[in-house]
Every structure is written in C-alpha cells, then in structure tokens.
C-alpha cells in the first residue's frame, strides 16, 4: 500500500513538472523563436533588396559604359569633322590665292598677245592624242616655261556630223585630253589653262568633203603672254 502511494506521488510530481516545463517554454522560449523568425524574415527581405540594388547598379554601370562609348565616338567624329573643316579652309585659302593670282595675270587682257600656238587634229569620233599630237604639245609646254605672265587657251571642236549635243560633249573631251596631257604629263600650271568646247561651231572649212570635215575635228591651243608688253611699259623713258 505504501508503495502504491509513492508511485502515485511520483507520477503526480512528474505531471506537475511537465506542465511547468510547457508553461516555461510557452512564456520564455516561444517569444525568442518568434523574434528569431522575424529577424530571419527581415534579413531575407534585406538580402532581396540588396540583390535588387546590385542589379540596378549593374544596369546603371552598363548604361554609363554605353554613354561613355557614345561620347568617345562622338568626340572622335567631332575631331574628324574639325580636321576636314581645317583642310577645307586651307584648300579654300589656296584656291583663293590661285584665283587671285590668275585674275592679276589677266586683269588687262589687252596686254596679252598670242605667243605660241598648235592645232591638234583628231580622227572621226576620237578624243585620243597621237604621238605626233604629243610632240606638238611638248613644244608648246616648253615655250610656256619661258613666260612669266601667261595663260593657255584650249578650244575643242568637231565637224558637223552628228547631233549638236553629242558634238559639244565630244569637243569637250578632246579639249580635256589636251589639258590632261599639259597639266598631268608636262606639269603646266592647271590654273593657267582655260578650256572650252565649241562643238561644230566655228569650222575652219565649210566644205563637205572628207578632208574638209577632218580639218574641223581639232583642238586649238594658244599661249597668251603679257611679258613683252609689261617689259616695254617698265622700260625707263629718256
């Protein structure tokens, strides 16, 4: 009997102890756990915010890099444009000086007299120089080198065969062939050469035979110089 009472008392004590433990856990441990859960949740949110911020920063860096590349390319283009503008200005200045020089040379055309000439003949529908043509032009260029104040007139012509538009274009090609040779091969100053095409105008022979037409397929080249007139004007009077 005493033994059963002891067992009952021990069981009651255990039950009371268990209830006390549950109450302790409920009052002390659970609030801590709840706080830990809140902290963990807040940490997760902060981590997500940090990731979002990092992604935004990466996007911003990418945009900044793109802007830098665009700015660099723009600077390069601006530099190229400035260089070209400077080159254009320099060329314009040089052209202005050349034009001024030519204008000064021909300011008074009355002083300029024919000081040399050549006539280059062409085959039918041709605009190519022959070796004989080049020999004539060589002599003309050599004469031009002896003058200080001069210019060269190059006039292209055709016969009356064909349309006026075609003949005008052909006469210009013939004149251009002469100019190309004088300026490109013989180093005559291009600014001193004046070129024009007249087509079938101003024929040297109005005849209708083959030989007559051949005379009109030509380029007339004349050197005009003012050296003699200027020397005469500069000579001292007595």
The 10s digit of each residue's pLDDT in 63-105 is 767 766 776 777 777 778 777 767 766 766 665 555 555 555 5
- Specify whether 161 is located in the same domain as 88: no
Residue 50 is encoded by which pair of tokens?
């940090």
Q: Which among 223, 74, 86 is positioned nearest to 152, based on CA atoms?
A: 223
Most confident of 97-111, 147-161, 222-236: 147-161
Alpha-carbon distance of 150 to 136, in angstroms, equals: 19
How high is the pLDDT of residue 151?
95
Could you tell me the two tokens for 164?
């006026």
CA distances from 200 to 53, 126, 161, 216 (A): 83, 14, 8, 8
The pairing of beta strand 113-121 with beta strand 193-197: unpaired
**pLDDT at residue number 56:** 76
Distances (CA, A) of 215 to 127, 133, 140, 222: 14, 14, 20, 17
Range of the domain at 215: 111-234
- Closest residue by Cα to residue 193 from 171, 216, 175: 175
144 and 193 co-located in one domain:
yes
Non-local (6+) Cβ contacts of 230 within 8 A are 111, 149
Question: 133 with 61, same domain?
Answer: no
Integer-rounded Cα radius of gyration of the chain: 51
Do 156 and 80 share a structural domain? no
Token pair of 26, please? Answer: 């409920």
Contact 208, 149 (CB under 8 A): no
Kindly list the strands in the beta sheet with 150-156, ordered across the sheet, starting from the edge strand earlier in the chain.
113-121, 218-225, 150-156, 193-197
Which of 76, 105, 134 lies at the terminal end of a domain, its last residue?
105
Per mean pLDDT, which range of 32-36, 77-81, 150-154 is the poorest?
32-36
pLDDT tens column, 194-228:
999 999 999 999 988 999 999 999 999 999 998 88
Name residue 156's beta-bridge partners. 197, 219
**What is the mean pLDDT of the segment spanning 18-25?**
54
Q: Are residues 39 and 4 in the same domain?
A: yes
Check whether residue 55 and residue 124 sit in a common domain: no
Residues whose CB is less than 8 angstroms from the CB of residue 33 and which lie 6 or more positions away in sequence, other chains included: none
Q: Quick one: pLDDT at residue 84?
A: 75
Are 101 and 115 in the same domain?
no
Our count of domains for the chain comes to 2
Mean pLDDT, the chain, as a whole number? 79
Looking at residue 207, what is its pLDDT? 87
Last residue of a domain, one of 50, 84, 105: 105
Per-residue pLDDT, 66: 73
Taken as a whole, the chain contains a residue count of 238
In this structure, the answer to whether residues 175 and 210 fall within a common structural domain is: yes
Who contacts 197 (Cβ-Cβ below 8 Å, separation ≥6)?
155, 156, 157, 168, 169, 170, 171, 172, 173, 174, 175
- 170-195 average pLDDT score: 96
What is the predicted pLDDT for the residue at 7?
54
| 117 shares its domain with 88 | no
Task: Enumerate the H helices of 25-149 as residue ranges.
Answer: 30-105, 131-144
């Amino acid at each position: 009997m005493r033994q059963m009472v002891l067992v009952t008392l021990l069981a009651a004590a255990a039950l009371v102890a268990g209830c006390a433990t549950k109450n302790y856990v409920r009052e002390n441990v659970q609030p801590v756990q709840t706080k830990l859960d809140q902290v963990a949740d807040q940490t997760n949110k902060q981590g997500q915010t940090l990731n979002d911020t990092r992604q935004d920063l990466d996007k911003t860096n990418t945009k900044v890099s793109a802007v830098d590349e665009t700015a660099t390319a723009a600077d390069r283009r601006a530099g190229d444009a400035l260089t070209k503008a400077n080159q254009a200005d320099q060329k314009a200045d040089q052209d202005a000086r050349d034009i001024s020089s030519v204008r000064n040379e021909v300011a008074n055309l009355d002083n300029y007299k024919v000081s040399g000439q050549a006539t280059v003949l062409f085959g039918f529908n041709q605009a190519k120089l022959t070796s004989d043509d080049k020999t004539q032009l060589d002599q003309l260029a050599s004469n031009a080198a002896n003058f200080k104040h001069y210019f060269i007139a190059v006039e292209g012509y055709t016969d009356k065969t064909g349309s006026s538009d075609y003949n005008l274009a052909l006469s210009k090609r013939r004149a251009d062939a002469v100019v190309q040779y004088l300026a490109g091969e013989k180093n005559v100053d291009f600014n001193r050469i004046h070129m024009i095409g007249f087509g079938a105008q101003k024929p040297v022979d109005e005849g209708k035979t083959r030989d007559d037409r051949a005379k009109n397929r030509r380029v007339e080249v004349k050197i005009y110089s003012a050296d003699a007139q200027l020397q005469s004007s500069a000579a001292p009077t007595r």
